[in-house]
Amino acid sequence: MIIQTIVAPPQAWTGIEAFARTFQPVQLLNFVPSLPLASTFLVMMVCVYFYAAEPKRIWALLGVAFTTVYAVMASSNYAIQLLVVRASLAAGETEGLGLLSHANSHSVFWALATSYGYMSLAMLCAAWVFGADRIGRWIRWLFVAVGVTAPLQFVGVLFELGVAAGALPGLVWSLATPAACLLLAVVFRRADAVRA
């Protein structure tokens, strides 16, 4: 996302015609890895469900439920940007496109961007599966750190608070989610070794 911002800095929205004139496909670059993120995150949460001890499975199941909402919303959102918006701009078809474009802060894109709030709620729920050992406690608190940003994400979009409202959740997500996923890989590897 940083590289994309440097190469193609976002412009103020002045309408779809102006956006179409200055559009560069690199503006959609960060959506490419985001598209498979939704399905891989869902697979990870299903793995958390099967890893969870029976009394804690309800937390994992809630995590899977919120992840499913996230996955559907995020996949749809990024597919619209990569398949519909990009192709329409390339073909010079702009009618009605402003309602879909990520560059318009009042577009469907930003409503669907609340999907990350659902991802955060999923992590908050699944956090309670972990905690028996040191790595488990780290996973729990990393998941909680992301999870508690969910209200700010929803409020930020609802009240159009802009980039400022998304900065803190984005920073927490960018640091805590990859760290938690790496630790989860260690936990799953150990659990697999014990079963073997």
CA torsion 2-74-148-123 (nearest 10°) is: -110
Structure tokens at 178: 């990859």
Structure tokens at 30: 């960060």
Residue-wise pLDDT tens digits, 64-114: 999 999 999 999 999 999 999 999 999 999 999 999 999 998 999 999 999
List the Cα angle 68/185/133 in 5-degree steps: 105
Domains of the chain by residue range: 2-195
Q: Tell me 130's DSSP state.
A: -
Full-prediction pTM beyond 0.75? yes
Answer yes or no: is pLDDT of 4 > 70: no
Lowest mean pLDDT among 7-11, 41-45, 90-94: 7-11
